Amino acid sequence: MQSPALLHRFLPIRQVTPVSFLHNHAKRIEKLNEKFKEKNSKELWLKEHGPGGSVKHSTPYSSKQIEQITLDFAKKKNALTGSMMYDFSSIVKKVVRDTTHRVVVVRGANGSFCSGGDLNFVEKIASEEGAFVMNSVMMNAVNKLARSDKVSIAVLEGFTMGGGTELASACDIRVAKKNAKVGFVQGRMGVCPGWGGGRYLVETLGRARAIEYLTTAAEVTAEELHRIGYVNFVYDSEEELESYLNRFNALRTDPFIASKRMVANYSRESSLSEEEKEMKEQLIFMSVWGQNDHKDNIHHIRQSIKAKKEKK
């Protein structure tokens, strides 16, 4: 059975992945899945192998519609340990089930977003098993977040490095403080994206820029990221940030969720066929059209047009 290292070496030469390689890989994964078949065993493995730091869940904003996930290992610029991956995965499960908040902010403690994988931890788990467990847990968590009905917003400040960029890319929206520096530096560590966020980088930046940033281990400023559309908004003060976040209070719940679902339906991560996507679009649209909210709003808009005319 070929090892993943061998597989990696042969692929560029062959161009087309021979099916037998993927079958061999599937067999290895089957074995690893068998080893970690107990519920939460992968998460617990990460926690055991990587102590330090924590991930917290709170509602620190004046708007009660907004919740926050905070990566907190401040003395290490919020490098992510196994224990933090465990926390992150548990909190994401809670966040996607909850229906009382509509926006989830992902942020780092103490003026930095995330400096990537904790070097002590990644050194300890630098094995095939380690790659499998970390990738499975994190990919599952970021996909859950991306597919949820909530709008996720990564607040980038200070440093966002390596794996930190994957968390940022998996969020629906990124905003950045003027001082933010985002480093797509996994290659410098001899690896490539592995927290499941690589696909979102391609979706957000496009193929050409994703390849450029990853293969040059680019470190990019907030200004440039704003210019190219990776970042939606650049802020200077907490007040500016909060006022941006409050924009997401403008709609009632049903059209808010329908709008998020409509966009997510056409993102690349959707596994539906084109025909199924169209059916889903129809379903989402029909779930709001003609509902009380819709009828009330038609009435209110007509009234306000009439009132404006009468004023003239």
Residue of 102, 114, 136 whose CA lies nearest to 33: 136
Give the Cα separation of 288 and 284 in Å (integer): 7
Instruction: Show contacts with ligand LZKTLF4L in window 222-281 (CB under 6 A).
Output: none
CB 163, min distance to ligand LZKTLF4L, A: 3
Residue 230 or 256 with smaller CB distance to ligand LZKTLF4L: 230
Residue 66 or 138 with smaller CB distance to ligand LZKTLF4L: 138
CA distances from 261 to 143, 149, 156, 247 (A): 14, 7, 25, 18
Spatial contact of 38 and 64, defined as CB atoms under 8 Å apart: no
CB count, 10 Å around CB of 302? Answer: 10
Start-to-end C-alpha separation, the chain: 80
Report the C-alpha dihedral over residues 13, 16, 17, 19, rounded to 10 degrees: -130
Told to check if 191 binds ligand LZKTLF4L by CB under 6 A, we report yes
Residue of 141, 135, 40, 123 whose CA lies nearest to 79: 123
Instruction: Show contacts with ligand LZKTLF4L in window 38-77 (CB under 6 A).
Output: 76-77
Residue 139 or 284 with smaller CB distance to ligand LZKTLF4L: 139
Among 36-44, 98-106, 110-118, 265-273, which window interacts with ligand LZKTLF4L (CB under 6 A)?
Answer: 110-118
Among 122, 139, 153, 214, binds ligand LZKTLF4L (CB under 6 A): 122
CB 47, min distance to ligand LZKTLF4L, A: 17
Structure tokens at 46: 């990460």
Give the Cα separation of 182 and 161 in Å (integer): 6
Among 38-46, 181-189, 199-207, 256-264, which window interacts with ligand LZKTLF4L (CB under 6 A)?
Answer: 181-189
Spatial contact of 153 and 171, defined as CB atoms under 8 Å apart: yes
Instruction: Show contacts with ligand LZKTLF4L in window 138-167 (CB under 6 A).
Output: 159, 161-163
Told to check if 86 binds ligand LZKTLF4L by CB under 6 A, we report no
Residue 103 or 114 with smaller CB distance to ligand LZKTLF4L: 114
Among 55, 66, 71, 79, binds ligand LZKTLF4L (CB under 6 A): 79
Among 185, 205, 225, 241, binds ligand LZKTLF4L (CB under 6 A): 185
Spatial contact of 109 and 72, defined as CB atoms under 8 Å apart: yes
Give the Cα separation of 127 and 119 in Å (integer): 14
Contacts with ligand LZKTLF4L by CB under 6 A lie at 76-77, 79, 115-119, 122, 159, 161-163, 185-186, 189, 191, 194-195
